[in-house]
Chain A
Amino acid sequence: MSVMTFREALRAAIDEEMARDDSVLLLGEEVGQYNGAYKVSQGLLEKYGPERVIDTPISEEGFTGIGIGAAMAGLRPIVEWMTVNFSLQAMDQIFSNASKMRYMSGGQFSVPIVFRGPNGPAEFLGSQHSQALQSIYAHVPGLKVVAPSNPADAKGLLKASIRDDNPVVFLEAELMYSWKGEVPEGELVIPLGQADIKRPGKDVTLIGFSKPLRMVLEAAESLAAQGIDAEVVDLRSIRPLDEAAIYESVRKTNRCVVIDEAWPFASVGSHVAWLVSRSCFDDLDAAVELVSGEDVPMPYNHSLELAAQPSVEKIVDAVKRVLYA
């Protein structure tokens, strides 16, 4: 094991995959000379050169589509969006091209590409730079959506995403880049579609992914101090979704709280809550609770922006509701 930051883990994944496969390229805004807007790609230009680490103009639709064409023709591009907010400029390419080429060509084409960048709110960034957009990408058949919560998962899942023959939307977060964690030495590839039990427990199932998972674990510790033993399921991959792992946990604990920092309307969180309600109906001792972001654009003021997001307190309160405590 070695301790590394989330950004170093991502960099290691990209570096290792670029070293083993010359069809892997990285392109996006500031990935080269600037060494990455969030320094994920630091040193990669120097190591691999401008043919493989490609700085782009601020043309999200254009460079996202270029990545898709290169992938159809046999390369394995990693497209970095400076933030997932800006991917909205490229949405047509992702929806109409990346996700559908295989299907509408009768299986003739694969689009092995990774779209990655920070998603969700950071701090003080205001409405347009604080959106958690997983629900939008998770909505689309043909896309995979991955959202790790710690450096080890980030490395193993990114390597799997790069090797995957499908378009993968890989969600990171500004605040996570400096998070540290233990990462196993050597080759680490974590298959997509496998949830991970981050904390075993018997009284209630907490389901989360990405950045909020850390506060879910804090909430679990807080609950433990109050005698409540929570199991924490980290989805890691939103599409494909490990439904079996979710149901197994809920059937054991009989209670479920889903945590998703996105808006609540038609979200990944609301979908998972519906799946649990439908598939574990006879096992549930309480209605499933959803802790989501508030249904508002993100305000700038820090107190307001914190109030707009899930928190340890909100999670603890939701757990107490499902426990009728």
Chain B
Amino acid sequence: MAGTKAARAGAPAVSGDGAVSGARGGDAEFQVELLRTMLLIRRFEERAAQMYGLKKIGGFCHLYIGQEAVAVGAISAINLATDYVVAAYRDHGYALACGMEPRLLMAELFGKATGVSRGKGGSMHFFDAARHMYGGNGIVGAQIPVATGVAMKIRYRKEGGVVLCWFGDGAIHQGSFHESLNMAKIYNLPIVYICENNHYGMGTDFRRVSSVTDFAVMGSSYGIPGSQVNGMDVLEVHREVKAAAERARADSTPIFLEVLTYRYRGHSMSDPAKYRTPEELESYKKQDPILIQKSRMIESGIFTEADFSAMDVEFKVVCDESVRFAEESPEPELSALHQDVYA
């Protein structure tokens, strides 16, 4: 079971062949930055889980732990001045990878007025218009047409950007996915559809509910090229998304990527994840994206365990500060209830 997935996920835990293509390729500083962002996401979400346990955060809280390489590898491959990110509800990782401030995100999780969405969005609705981060969307698959519309604007205005449209394996059977791919193709829209296959749509193994298990063929149905990417390797994700984004921009065309990944936690905080075996989870933790990247960097002599420890301490402080900021921030005024219903 897990073996199948590991094999599909491809790359061995530590690969010497991690060179990044393009101008920043192989650049040590860049690799450190990738690791930093992944670790920030990991530590931020661990702290969020803790705060959830303390009932500082309520409702649905979907953690991204295990999948960090996907958001980080991909978003580091685009330029948010002209490109866009449209994501689903497991959105903490994309928000941090887009450069949104951890303390403003933590405040949003706490429902405070200082949160990125002024405490009215919550975990599933992180937005940052200035950074072109268009959510944070809670209905499975409903963001896919929206992302496609953003790509329509890029093409209409001849802006030369690209949209990264994110969704999970659970969303791929929604009509919104199929309608969007068809239209993106007929209108030649610059968009990369990224199916982040973490293997479970909530508690359902995707192989139980999908007529095909190689999602790349879903793109082919609409004349859209597709390929599979190992989502546990941040450099591979970066390389593949960079190539896809460049092609989408240059040819003004949609591209489809299936990124194979795995979430360590349940679907949301209330899910004990009894639908999978401890062995399966352990096998994935052995190819942890942070460990892979760290080991690779240590092996190539650009990073040390001491560097990692220092980084860890740094993010502990960031998380402490985020929680302190969230705790001390005011609740929204009751008058906020009626604000922003209409423009």
Contacts and interface: CB of A to CB of B under 8 A. Distances in A.
Chain B CB count within 10 A is highest, among A61, A62, A71, A112, for A62
Interface in A272-315: none
Interface string A125-146: 0000000000000000110100
Contacts of A71: 149
Contacts of B275: none
Nearest to A56: B183
B182 A107 contact: no
Contacts of B147: 69
Interface string B144-164: 111111111110110000000
A97 to B, nearest CB: 6
A92 B137 CA distance: 12
Contact of A106 (B116, B145, B153, B187): B116
Given A96-B138, A102-B340, A141-B341, A73 B183 contact: no
B180 interface: yes
Contacts of B56: none
A101 B125 CA distance: 9
A199 B184 CA distance: 50
A106 B104 CA distance: 12
Indicate the size class of the contact surface on chain A.
35 or more
A121 B236 CA distance: 57
A64 B339 CA distance: 25
Chain A CB count within 10 A is highest, among B138, B146, B150, for B146
B121 A105 contact: yes
A62 B127 contact: no
A106 B118 contact: yes
A187 interface: no
Interface in A17-76: 25, 51, 54, 56-57, 59, 61-75
A97 B342 contact: no
Contacts of B175: 59, 61-62
Given A107-B339, A142-B342, A61 B134 contact: no
B281 interface: no
Contacts of A101: 135
Interface of A: 25, 51, 54, 56-57, 59, 61-75, 77, 92-93, 96-97, 101-110, 112, 141-142, 144, 164-166
Interface of B: 84, 86, 115-121, 125, 127-129, 134-139, 142-154, 156-157, 175-176, 179-180, 182-183, 186-187, 339-343
6 contacts: A54-B187, A57-B179, A65-B149, A103-B120, A104-B117, A109-B127
Q: Which 9 pairs from chain A and chain B are nearest by CB?
A: A69-B149, A65-B145, A62-B179, A106-B118, A165-B343, A69-B146, A105-B127, A59-B179, A66-B149
